[in-house]
Structure 1
Amino acid sequence: MTDSKTQNPHWPQAEIHPTAIVEDSVEISRGVRIGPWCHVKGPSSIGPGTVLMERVSVGPWVIMGRNNIIHMGAVIGHAPQDLSYNGEETWTHIGSQNEIREYVTIHRGSRSGLKTVVGDHNLLMGLSHVAHDVEIGNRVILANGALLAGHVHVDDQAFISGGVLVHQFVRIGRLALLRGGSRTSRDVPPYCIMDGTHTIRSLNRVGLKRAGISAEERSRLKMAFRILFGRRKMEERGLLQLESDPSPLVRELVRFIRDSKRGVCHGSGRLPDIDTEMGVDYD
C-alpha cells in the first residue's frame, strides 16, 4: 500500500495500492484500505475502516458504510442487467459490517430515484448475485451461488442457501430459510423453511431458537403453521382465525400473507412432526 499523503488530500490516512485506480470524485474515509488492481469510480463514498481486497470494482454512485470487507473480484454498483436502463444516475447503498465474498455482483438501481440496498452485518458468499433494486435487511446470509432477481426484498435474518433462485419482485420474510437448490416465484413467509419449488416444509425452529424467540412464541407459530400450511391450499378461514392471535409473530405472519401481491408459497400437503424434524428435538 502507498502512503495516503501521496494520494488525493481528501483521503486522510487511507492506504491505496499503487496499481489501484481511484477517481478523484470518490470520497474515502479514514482507515480505508484499497488493494491491488481495484477500480473505484465516482461519485462514490467509502466509509471508515472498509477494506477492498484485490481486483474489486466499485461504482459509480455507491455509498458504502464502515468496516465492510470486500473480497477479491467483487463488483458493486455496476449497471443493472435491465434492457430499459438508459444510463441514468441510480445508486447502490451498502451499510456497515458486511462481508462480501469472492466474485459477488451487486447491481445499482434501474430507474432514476431507485437504488439497491444492502443493510448491516450481512454475509454474501462467493458468486452470489444481488440484482437491481433489491433490498436486503440486516444479518442476512446469501450462500454461494444464490441469485436474487430485480426488486426482491429480503427481511432481517433470512438464510438463502446455495444455488437458490429467487424471481423478481419476490419478498423473503424474516428468519425464513430457503434450502439449497430451491427456487421461488412466490413470496416466502417469515419463520418458515422452504424447498423445492416454492413449497413450505416446516417451521424454522432452529433459526427461531437461535434468534432468542421464546418457547411460547415458537409454540404459537407452530400452531399457526399447521393451520396455514397443513394443506397444500391455504384457507381464508385460517387467516381470519389467526388475525387476532395473542402472538405478535403470528400476526406478523398473517400481515405478510395479506400484503402479498405475488401470492405466497404453498404447503406440501403434509407437514412433518415439527417437534422431531430431522430426528432431533430442538427444545
Structure 2
Amino acid sequence: MNQPLAYVHPEAKIAQNVVIEPFVTIHKNVEIGEGTWIGSNAVIMEGARIGQNCKIFPGAVVSSIPQDLKFAGEVTTTHIGDNTVIREYVTVSRGTIDKMKTVIGKNCLVMAYAHVAHDCMVGDNCIIGNSVQMAGHVEVGDFAIVSAATLVHQFAKIGAHAFVSGGSLVLKDVPPFVKAAREPLSYAGINSIGMRRRGYVSEQINEIQHVYRLLFMNGLNNSQALDKIEVELSPSRERDEIINFVRNSGRGIIKGYFAKDAS
C-alpha cells in the first residue's frame, strides 16, 4: 500500500493488502476492505465505506458531497459492497439527512461516467450502464440492469430483476421482473432471459407473465388489476413482490404498451 505518489489521510482505515495506485487521494473517515484496488487519480472522499475485493477505476470519485442545496454538512456515508466494480469517472455522492447514506450493493458493475446521487439505494448484482444519470433517493432492486445513457428521476424505483433499455427516461417506477422500453417508457414484456440465467423455472416465469398480463393488458386500472391478481393467483414470493411494489409505488408505475394513455 505504501505508494509514495498517492495521498492517504492518516486517519483512513485501509486494509493491509489494498492496492493504491499513484496519484490517488484518500480523505479521512474512509474505510477500505481487503483486496480492493484503487486506480490512479481516483478520489475517495470522507464517509466512504468500500468493501472487500472492489475495483475503483481511474478518475472515479466516491463519496463526494451531495449536489443538494439542502445539504447542511451532516456526517453521512457512502457504502460500496464487496466485489463491486466502479469504472472510469463514475461519481457517487454520499447521503443527506434523508437516509444518511448512499448504498451500492455487492457484486455490482457501475460503468464509466455514471452518476449515483445522494441517498440512492442500489441492490446487489446490479449493472448500471455507461453514462446512466441517477438522481437522488432512487432505489434499484437486486439483479436490475439499467442500460447506458438512461436518466432516472429522483425518488424513482426500479424493481429487482428489471431491465431498462438504453437511453430511457425513467419518470415512473419500473416494477420487478419487467423489461421497460420505448418512449415514453412502457412495459415491454418480462425479463425472462435474465430470470432463466438466475435459476427461475418455467412455472415461475409463466406466473409472472400472467401477473403482468392482468396488470398491463387487461384494460383494468391498477387497483382492479391487483384485486384480480389476488383472486386468480395463489400467493407466491414473486406474485406478492409485484403486488407490494405496485401498491407502495410513490410515483406510480410505468404504463403498459397497450394502454390508451401511455404518458
| Aligned-partner residue type, residue 56 of structure 2 | I
Matching residue of 1:202: 189
Structure 1 residue 30: Cα displacement: 2.0
Work out the percentage of aligned pairs sharing the same amino acid.
36
TM-score normalised by length of structure 2? 0.93
Match of 1:193 among 179, 203, 222: 179
Q: Does 1:129 align with 2:118?
A: no
The Cα of 1:115 is off from its aligned counterpart by: 0.5
State the 1:248 CA deviation.
Answer: 2.2
Match in the other structure for 1:90:
76
Pick closer, same or farther for the CA change 1:226–1:47 going to 2, 3 Å.
Answer: same
Partner residue, 2:253: 264
Identify if the C-alpha distance between structure 1 residues 16 and 233 changes in structure 2 by more than 3 Å, giving closer, same or farther.
farther
Q: 1:46-92 CA deviation, whole Å, 9 max, x = no partner?
A: 11111001000001111111000110000000000001112221111
**CA contact 1:61–1:77 (8 Å) conserved in 2:** yes
| Match in the other structure for 1:26 | 12
Q: CA offsets, 1:143-193, max 9 Å, x none?
A: 101111100011100000000111001111000000000111111100001
Partner Cα distance (2:47, 2:226) in 1: 43
Q: CA deviation at 1:110?
A: 1.9
Offset of residue 231 of structure 1: 5.5
Residue number among 38, 44, 56 corresponding to 2:30 in the alignment: 44
The code of the aligned residue for 1:119 comes to G
Distance change >3 Å, CA 91–CA 232, structure 1 → 2 = farther
Q: 2:205 aligns to what?
A: 218
Correspondence list, 1:45-64, <5 A: 45-64=31-50
What TM-score results when the alignment is normalised by the length of structure 1? 0.87
Mapping 1:103-142, distance limit 5 Å: 103-111=89-97, 114-142=100-128
Q: What letter is aligned with 1:236?
A: S
> Is the contact between residue 153 and residue 169 of structure 1 (CA under 8 Å) also seen in structure 2?
yes
- Identify which of 208, 230, 243 aligns with 2:217: 230
Q: Deviations over 1:182-213 (max 9, x none)?
A: 11111110000112333111111111111111
| Residue aligning to 1:165 | 151
Secondary structure of residue in 2 paired with 1:243: helix
Change in 2 beyond 3 A, CA 1:24/1:261: same
Distance 2:117 2:143 in 1: 19
Which segments of 5 or more consecutive residues in structure 2 lack a partner in the other structure?
A: none
8 Å CA contact 1:176, 1:204 repeated in 2: yes
Q: Which runs of 4+ in 1 moved over 6 A?
A: none
The CA distance in 2 between the partners of 1:62 and 1:114, in whole Å, is: 12
Residue 204 of structure 2 aligns with an amino acid whose one-letter code is E
2:228 corresponding residue in structure 1? 241
- The answer as to whether partners of 2:214 and 2:228 remain within 8 angstroms in 1 is no
- Aligned-pair CA distance for 1:241: 1.7
Range with bigger deviation, 220-229 or 233-242: 233-242
Q: Select the structure of larger CA radius of gyration.
A: 1
> What CA distance in whole angstroms lies between the structure 2 residues aligned with 1:22 and 1:112?
29
In 1: Cα distance, 2:48 partner to 2:220 partner: 43
Partner secondary structure for residue 223 of structure 1: helix
Map Cα deviations across residues 22-63 of structure 1 (whole Å, 9 max, x no partner). 001100112101111110001111111110010000011111
Q: Are 2:25 and 2:41, in contact at CA under 8 Å, matched by a contact in 1? A: yes
Take 1:32 and 1:215, find their aligned partners in 2: how far apart are those partners? Answer: 43
* Distance in 2 of aligned mates of 1:226 and 1:27: 51
Whether the 8 Å contact between 1:90 and 1:112 is mirrored in structure 2 is no
Q: CA RMSD in A?
A: 1.5
User: What amino acid is aligned across from residue 178 of structure 1 in structure 2?
Assistant: V
